[in-house]
Amino acid sequence: MPRLTAWGRLGRARARRPARALARRWRSSLQLRVLASTLTIGLVALAAIGMYVGELTSDGLFDQRREQLLSEATRSTQQAQEFLSASAADTFTGVALLLEDVTTAQRNGGSGERDVFLLRAPGQTGVGVGATATDRSLVELVSRELKQAVVDDRQHWQSVAIPVGGGQVEPGIVVGQNVDVPMAGTYQMFFLYSLQAEQDRLDFLLRTLAVAAVAVVGLLAGMTWLVTRRTVHPVRRAAHVAERLADGHLSERMAVRGEDEMATLARTFNEMAESLQDQIHRMEELSMLQRRFVSDVSHELRTPLTTIRMAGEVIHGAREDFDPSIKRSAELLATQLDRFEDLLADLLEISRFDAGAAVLDAERRDLRGIVLQAVDNATPLAERRGSWLHVDLPDVRADADVDPRRVERILRNLLVNGIEHADGSAVEVTVGVDATAVAVTVRDHGVGMTQDEALHVFDRFWRADPARARTTGGTGLGLAISLEDAHLHGGTLEAWGRPGRGACFRLTLPRRAGIRLDGSPLPLAPADDEPSVAETGPLRNTDPAALPDLPPMTGEIAIVSNPTDPVRTDVRTDDAAPTAGAARRRS
């Protein structure tokens, strides 16, 4: 098979464009589908009715004309027989002239001019006087079958096509019957009638029906278009207004005209929009009051907290001189003051995110250094809890435009969360990089979590087990703040877990601001869990040789958006053997 040239492929592509445009128009337009369906059904119905009426009329005209011609042919045959029987011709020449006279005399019948043939009947013996015809060129229209049928001395007929010159033909009918000719024996008398007049009437009727059908189709198309427009237009308007409402234009409303069902729809839609606008405004006011309350309370508590902190430090410094019970109280006071201060700091940070005032101070940094710094800070906690910290770093630089303070806070929260729930097992930290993104996974082999818990793990103040003691002193806002920090970078923070098998958190950040993530360099679930692409996202090429050198960042980046991408979760079935001991890392 010959291959298409570039011009051939271009021509085929251009030819497919109208088809694709029509297909898109067909799928997106209810009015077009209703109009096309109505016209198709109407055309099919009219065609069926036209064919039925045409056949019925044609059969009726033919049957009526045939009965008329058969009666006329019977009368003409009887007249010819009487004329022949009354003839006194006694020679063959006289009989021949008699046949000519009969043929000529019967040419004009009651329904107009016709052709007459007097042919000798098949099977006759003896001397004949020949055959006569008004038009000998048409004698061949009398078929052998018709001649044989007339032999039984009964009237028979047959439809024929009469040539009229120029390759044109007219419908006709041949009627035959036997007559007795003196001295010559039995002859067959045939009458040839033209049915062109009836055909003309039938054609006129069909043309009239066709014109009427076109008019009906046009009227049907106009009525359908008008009805569907009056029905679809309000729906389109409602869809447009709904889109405007979804975009935040809460004052958008539909126009109300009349008192019909569409007007009722418009009024009901407007009432719904009014109710939604009122509820949204009330929720916004309540949310603003809540944010202001949290912010004001957090700021107001700083002053008494500072005073309590100073007094607590004095008491904590002199605890060696106290009784054991008072000494223990002083230590608890210092610990709870630390938690209280962390809670206030987290509340203030959440307030900044809610107000849209969080700013990203991005700079070009190697993510490996930030990871090592976070691991070093978490090492004392891991030693106290009996967990190992395993760090796996790539051989190439993992440069990205990030805010080091926020990224280090995300990693610190993930590491503390992993160590707290590892129950003395290993906590694995892995760094991955590809052409557009960097990623960090924090994997523990502790109590794990269910899929439903993974959906809520980033909610504020949410805990999978409210009865579980938080011995390391979390505030319940760390993972929520981490998620906001990840979104502030334009990245994602995802969670995976399986009860009794541990959990994994994956942070994915774009290497440059404005890059839209479509996957991650690292998997979220372990390989033996066989996760689907929909749950963990597509993986990309992480070959170091394929990583391009990004140009240096210039200027300062400030992002005030607050995306709310959903957290993807996954489950697995593998077992991980926990280990314990001092913290270690490898690169």
pLDDT tens-digit series, residues 344-369: 776 667 666 666 667 778 889 999 99
- Residue predicted with more confidence, 566 or 208: 208
Please name the helix (run of DSSP H) or strand (run of DSSP E) that holds residue 3, with its range, or none. Answer: none
Q: Is the pLDDT of residue 522 over 50?
A: yes
Angle, CA 567 vertex, CA 563 and CA 571 arms, to 5° = 170
pLDDT for position 270? 87
How far is it, in rounded angstroms, from Cα 251 to Cα 274?
A: 8
Please name the helix (run of DSSP H) or strand (run of DSSP E) that holds residue 131, with its range, or none. Answer: none
- Pinpoint the alpha helices (H) of 113-158: 144-150
How far is it, in rounded angstroms, from Cα 170 to Cα 141?
A: 12
CA distances from 315 to 278, 331, 496 (A): 53, 9, 44
Q: What is the CA radius of gyration of the chain?
A: 51
In this chain, the answer to whether the domains covering 261-351 and 358-546 adopt an identical fold is no
Q: Is the pLDDT of residue 575 over 50?
A: no
**Which of 42-51, 183-192, 249-258, 484-493 has the lowest average pLDDT?**
249-258
**Which of 208-212, 380-384, 565-569 has the lowest average pLDDT?**
565-569
**Which of 57-71, 162-176, 324-338, 518-532 has the lowest average pLDDT?**
518-532
Q: Domain 261-351 classified CATH 1.10.287.130? A: yes
Contact between 198 and 65 (Cβ < 8 Å): yes
Q: Is the pLDDT of residue 576 over 50?
A: no
Angle, CA 506 vertex, CA 382 and CA 400 arms, to 5° = 100
Domain extents for the chain? Answer: 20-250, 261-351, 358-546
Question: For residue 474, what pLDDT band results from cuts at 50, 70 and 90?
Answer: low
Question: For residue 546, what pLDDT band results from cuts at 50, 70 and 90?
Answer: very low
pLDDT for position 10? 53
Determine what percent of the chain is predicted with pLDDT higher than 90. Answer: 16
How far is it, in rounded angstroms, from Cα 357 to Cα 564?
A: 16
Which residues are CB-contacts of 537 (< 8 A; sequence separation ≥ 6)? 494, 518, 519, 520, 524, 568
Chain segment 217-246, per-residue pLDDT in tens: 888 888 888 888 777 777 788 888 888 888
Angle, CA 259 vertex, CA 254 and CA 261 arms, to 5° = 75
Q: Is the pLDDT of residue 190 over 90?
A: yes
| End-to-end C-alpha distance for the chain, whole angstroms | 57
Chain segment 406-422, per-residue pLDDT in tens: 899 899 989 998 898 88
Q: Is the pLDDT of residue 554 over 50?
A: no
CATH code reported for the domain at 20-250: 3.30.450.20
How far is it, in rounded angstroms, from Cα 499 to Cα 378?
A: 24
pLDDT for position 260? 76
128 — phi, psi (to 5°)? -105, 165
Hey, is 384 helix, strand or coil? helix
pLDDT for position 131? 83
572 — phi, psi (to 5°)? -150, 175
214 phi-psi bin (left φ>0, alpha ψ -120 to 50, beta other): alpha
pLDDT for position 276? 85
Chain segment 257-274, per-residue pLDDT in tens: 877 777 888 888 888 888
In three-state form (DSSP H/G/I as H, E/B as E, the rest C), the secondary structure along 290-327 is HHHHHHHHHHHHHHHHHHHHHHHHHHHHCHHHCCHHHH
CATH code reported for the domain at 358-546: 3.30.565.10
Average pLDDT, the chain: 78
